[in-house]
Structure 1
Amino acid sequence: MKHLLNLLAAVALLVWGTYLVRTGILRVFGANLRRVLARSVGNRFTAALSGIGVTALVQSSNATALITSAFVGQGLISLPAALAVMRGADIGTALIAVLFSFDLSWLSPLFIFVGVVLFISRQASTAGRVGRVLIGLGLMLLALGLVTSSTTMLTKSPAVRALLESVQSDILLEITLGAVLALISYSSLAVVLLIATLAASGGVPLDMALGLVLGANLGSGLMAVVTTARSSVDVRRVPIGTLVFKILGVLVMAPLVAWWIRRVRPFLGDDITSVVALFHLMFNVVVGVVFIGLTDVVARWVQNMMPATRGNSLDRPHHLDPSALLTPSLAISNAAREALHQADVVETMLLGMLRVIRENDLHLAADLRKLDDQVDQLYSAIKYYLTKISRESLSEEESRRWTDIISFTINMEQIGDIIERVLLDIEDKKIRKGRNFSDAGMAEICELHSRLVDNLRLGMSVFLNGSLRDAQRLLEEKVRFRDLERAYSGTHLTRLAENTVQSIETSSLHLDLISDLKRINSHICSIAYPILDSAGALAPSRIKQLLPQDPSRELA
């Protein structure tokens, strides 16, 4: 029992080390990796090369699959190009397995020591994140040594030997077991390294080890399918297509296991670890090179099998891809795009509000008030999505962007609520009572509304681009709007003094309306504050010091 627990602990440490390396690399190079993938999909061969490079860094073809799937979901790259990237991604993770098949145990204490020093001393910086990667690499190398020693002791048990012999007799059972291990560990790389170590220490026979490797490759494809199961159809097509290629590869390579042992092993000598790792590499090279010409065919087949669903463009979140949560920088971008979608719905409400005021359209008013429910739903979805992003995984800039998105969506939600209340007031106090604003009053409302729409669009630009100049313009508009609201309130009182009948009938509604428009403008202008604050362009306080601070005066 003790040796079994030691083996399980070593496997857990190996998986944990792989996770640290993957997340650490994504934190340091996440944005750059996404740019590399996005720019290198001009043809299938450069796409495959970019997949090799990115996955060699991340040490996880599953992470590359999630990034690529999100790109397809956002329309940034085509499905055939994404499948070509994944052909290279699988080769990249196989190359890393070959690298770890060499005896690098002497690096383990060095990596762990340097990594801990960097991580503790400069945790929030890039150096600290590099330290996290080094800790992960050190733990992986340490875990491989522990697996070897634990397996050596465990395989001396007759019961364990009998169990392994029963599994060895069926290639389908070996493939199934390998796939299950990959799903459980969430890392095909960790499983392949584990299998190679077990085979080298005599824990499993070589032919069984190769069957388990085939299963681990199949399991990595299943893992991506499960991870993206709740995503949109466009996103789910990439892992489905990748799984198709892996199934084809297993069908081709399974009958060649005996041939590999008979023909290739003599050239590699007694280095069983290298035999297993090179078989893993050969599998992915065969799938990548032989089947890369089928990317267009598989893409068409997947698209026919999973046709895109069409629905109302305003009725659901479009960009909140759950699979992107494993890549925080990508998830932040998704949330920002969804926040702009929410702002589009608010703009639709704002534009329609003036039509309701002018045309007394009760049906349009009811439709616009329903849009507020969609604004609220989008706000809740964005907020919940952001809370699932690990704040520890964000850089300082990304953390600030996280806060900006929350603030933006709150302002949009509150603007939607104000517009809904305005529409109810228009229905009850104007349309149903058959009243109208005076010509001068209507002109004032139209002027304020026009400025409001312009400011909303400027606010959306500030949120998207973070322009300091536009943020300053937006804050200047807040002062102008406030002055206009005061001036129009005064002219309305003048019309009341002149006994203008329409102004008297709609006085309460008119004053409430221009006050609500001012409140909407204040929420819009709030978008500028984070930009100005981060640039140090905000004054500490607006309150002027009316009296000089004189200690003698205070004593008096």
Structure 2
Amino acid sequence: MDLPLTLLQLAGYVALLLWGVHMVQTGVQRAFGAKLRGFLGQALRNRFKAFLAGIGVTAILQSSTATGLMVTGFAAGGLVDLVPALAVMLGANVGTTLIVQLLSFNVTDVAPALILIGVLMFRRATAATRDFGRVFIGLGLVLMALSQFVGLVTPYEDVPNLKVFLGAVANQPLVDVILAAGLTWAAHSSVAVVLLIMSFAGNNVVPPDAAFALVLGANLGTAINPVLEGSTGADPAARRLPIGNLINRAIGTLIALSILPWLGTLLVQIEPDAARSVADFHTAFNIILAAAFFPFLKTYAALLRKLLPARVDPADPSRPQYLNAGATEAPVIAIGAAAREALRLADVLETMLLGLRDAFGRGDRREIAETKRLDDVLDRLNTAIKSYLTGLDTDALTTADHQRVTEILSFATHMEQAGDIVERDLLGVAQKKLRRGLAFSKDGEAELIAIIDRLTANLRAAGSLFMTGDERAARLLAEEKENFRQMEAQATATHFARLRAGRVDSAETSSLHLDALRDLKRINAHLVAAAAYPVLETGGNLLASRLRSAEHD
């Protein structure tokens, strides 16, 4: 046996495994990404639901790391409390054991069929079918890589030197843990390492106690990567979740090591099959660890906050500047502070519109990316404002205070939703145009930029109206909704005239142009609803419907 060639093949199969997992993740995220994030966002309100969501999402994504990344993003952005985030990770760790349990049976024979189905689906025209095709191809590659990985290593189980080495470490549980943790860290996959351990145990290469110690190391190693791969310069608060998960598994590993002789004997009696006992131990370890930590998550989260305090960065645009916690004792002052903070949302949205204007003109990839990132600022400020206002003592609020709180929350929500349209749709149009080497006609580009300028002026008017509540200004802004409807209709008619005259480069740019017109009108509707409608409704000047009543027909 050629050892260098074998090592190269092992590395290739690990790469194939990681690529298969990547295809599953990207396929699932493209097909259900928004729904998964929304599902997690809903589940994260309750730690019991969060735990179950962690199991389910990890089983779908085939990776606790992918689940952890989504949850870490929520936690780092302040969108979710640390307690349910830790509960999700406990569930994610249990979810990985389901994958091992499934793969512990002989399911590799279906790998070619999965790849075949995936390729056929991937060649279909619809995006949803292609995404599901990626998932099937990825699953097939994962099964094939694991089978080849274990099959390649199996002949080496009888190599005398390996047997001597494994025999030497068999009676050193701590060495086993370190060895398996290092291997899992290098392979980036606890699933592959646990399956390899199962193969060794099933062929009596290592005794049960050593196999269980190796499983503990694999569980510890899979928690190391997220910690080491995190940015060393990041806010310590953003590292609470991965570090908390690592500490959780380290404590569990130490306790399990101390009772391993008794525990190993019990498991062997329950499950005589050595390979199956390894899979069962892996599952039992994570379930027991989750059950042990779950009741104390609040205390554990408080300890992590104390050990890893948030870094205050004055230059961070997503950090609230006016939400003074001490002002909550005086609701009038707190409401004023929240209104001032809400105006910052309008400032950020204006910056995004200016970036969009430049994106439709010059089309700079870097500027598009920087503008898209501002949507995260809107999300975090909106969340902070909501948390601040909903934390006020409702009994201390007057009727006018309740109304103003509603207006602030509505304004912040509409600003955030308008930012979503810029980030997801309009900047998406700019990216497509740039990526495909397309260009709007000069007239079309000038038309879009003129509408963006009009929209920016309306945004400034909305911010001013939000603070003054002037009814005359509200009427002027409300009239802009009809003006924009007419502008869109006129711009669309002009565009079709250019298209018939052959002054538009392609049907593809035509579609992008019309999409942009529609999305700009939607943003203006959010501006009107954010600032003008509340003022008009308070004054009794807002109709319930724009439809003409039947008696006039």
Q: State the match for 1:173 in structure 2.
A: 175
In structure 2, the partner of 1:454 is 458
Amino acid at match of 2:283: L
Are residues 404 and 457 of structure 1, via their aligned partners in 2, closer, same or farther at CA, if it must alter by over 3 Å? farther
Structure-1 separation of matches of 2:482 and 2:31: 30
Alpha-carbon displacement from aligned partner over 1:8-33 (angstroms, at most 9, x marks no partner): 44344333323322332222221111
In 2, the alpha carbon distance for the partners of 1:259 and 1:108 equals 39
The aligned residue for residue 269 of structure 1 is 272
CA contact (8 A) 2:181 2:217 kept: yes
Contact 2:154–2:199 (CA<8 Å) still a contact in 1? Answer: no
Deviation of residue 60 (structure 1)? 1.1
Contact 2:240 2:304 in 1 (8 A): yes
Percent of aligned positions that are identical: 36
The whole-number CA distance in structure 1 between the counterparts of 2:88 and 2:352 is 42
Q: Give the match for residue 498 of structure 2.
A: none
- Which of the residues 12, 17, 39 maps onto 1:36? 39
1:316-355 superposed matches below 5 A = 344=347
Normalised TM-score (structure 1): 0.60
Shift, 1:108, TM fit? 1.5
- Cross-structure match for 1:382: 370
The answer to whether residue 241 in structure 2 is matched with residue 238 in structure 1 is yes
The aligned residue for residue 413 of structure 2 is: none
Offset from partner CA, 1:94-129 (integer Å, 9 cap, x none): 12211111111221221121112212x127612222
**Corresponding residue to 2:517 among 515, 529, 532:** 532
Contact (CA 8 Å) 2:208, 2:268: kept in 1 or not?
no
Give the AA of the match of 1:32: K
Match of residue 255 from structure 2: 252
Counterpart among 76, 100, 104 of residue 103 in structure 2: 100
The unaligned stretches of length 5 or more in structure 2 are 321-342, 354-363, 375-421, 433-452, 464-479, 491-511, 523-553
Per the alignment, residue 228 of structure 1 pairs with: 230
8 A Cα contact 1:471 1:531, kept in partner: no
Q: 1:123-167 CA deviation, whole Å, 9 max, x = no partner?
A: 761222212211222222223332343223112222222232333
Partner of 2:382: none
Following the alignment from structure 1 to structure 2, what is the Cα–Cα distance between the partners of residues 221 and 471?
56
- Residues in 2 aligned to 1:132 and 1:201: alpha-carbon distance in whole angstroms: 35
Partner of 1:153: 155
Cα distance in structure 2, aligned partners of 1:139 and 1:133:
10
Instruction: Return the alpha-carbon distance in structure 1 between the equivalents of residues 125 and 198 of structure 2.
Output: 34
Counterparts of 2:49 and 2:33, CA distance in 1: 20
Q: CA offset at residue 81 of structure 1?
A: 1.2
Note if 1:20 corresponds to 2:23: yes
Amino acid aligned to 1:158: P
1:147–1:197 CA contact under 8 A, matched in 2: no
Q: Pairwise mapping of residues 274-293 of structure 1 onto structure 2 (< 5 A)? A: 274-293=276-295
What displacement does 1:453 show? 4.1
How far did 1:210 drift? 1.9
Amino acid of the residue matched to residue 133 of structure 2? G
Compare relative contact order (CA 8 Å, sep 6+) and give the higher one, 1 or 2: 1
1:225 and 1:87 mapped to 2: Cα distance?
Answer: 16
2-side partners of 1:406 and 1:175: how far apart?
Answer: 48
1:140 aligns with 2:151: no
1:482 aligned partner: none
Distance in 2 between residues matched to 1:110 and 1:471, nearest whole Å? 56
Contact persistence 1:471–1:532 (CA under 8 A): no
Q: Deviations over 1:30-81 (max 9, x none)?
A: 1111111111233321211111111111111111111111111222211111
Give the counterpart letter for 1:382 in structure 2. Answer: E
Letter in 1 for 2:135: V
1:423-502 correspondence runs (5 A): 453-455=457-459, 473=484, 476=487
Match of 1:112 in 2: 115
Are 2:405 and 1:403 equivalent residues in the alignment? Answer: no
| Cα distance, 1:536 vs structure 2 | 12
Residues 369-394 of structure 1 show CA distances to partners (whole Å, capped at 9, x for unaligned) of: xxxxxxx9x958727979xxxxxxxx
Counterparts in 2 of 1:197 and 1:243: CA distance versus 1, 3 Å: same
How far residue 217 of structure 1 moved from its aligned partner, in angstroms, is 1.4
Unaligned runs of 5+ in 1: 320-339, 351-375, 387-396, 408-448, 460-468, 480-526, 538-556
Change (3 A) 1:455 1:191: same
Change (3 A) 1:200 1:398: farther
- CA distance 1:156–1:531, shift in 2 (3 Å): same
Contact 1:228–1:235, Cα closer than 8 Å, also in 2:
no
Larger Rg: 1
* Residue pair 1:179, 1:219 contacting (<8 A) in 2 also: yes
* Distance across 2 between alignment mates of 1:134 and 1:318: 42
Q: Residues of 2 paired with 1:198 and 1:401: CA distance?
A: 55
The 1-side partners of 2:206 and 2:299 are apart by: 39
Backbone CA RMSD of aligned residues: 4.3
Work out the number of aligned pairs and report it: 385
The residue type paired with residue 179 of structure 1 is: A
* Residue of structure 2 aligned with 1:76, choices 74, 79, 84: 79
- 1:502 maps to none
Whole-Å Cα distance in 2 between the matches of residues 284 and 178 of structure 1? Answer: 17
Cα deviation for residue 304 of structure 1 reads 0.7
Matches within 5 A, 1:42-81: 42-81=45-84
Query: Which stretch of the first structure deviates more once superposed, 19-28 or 67-76?
Result: 19-28
The question of whether the paired residues in 2 share the 8 Å contact of 1:211 and 1:254 is answered with yes
Q: 1:22 to 1:347 in 2, by over 3 A?
A: closer
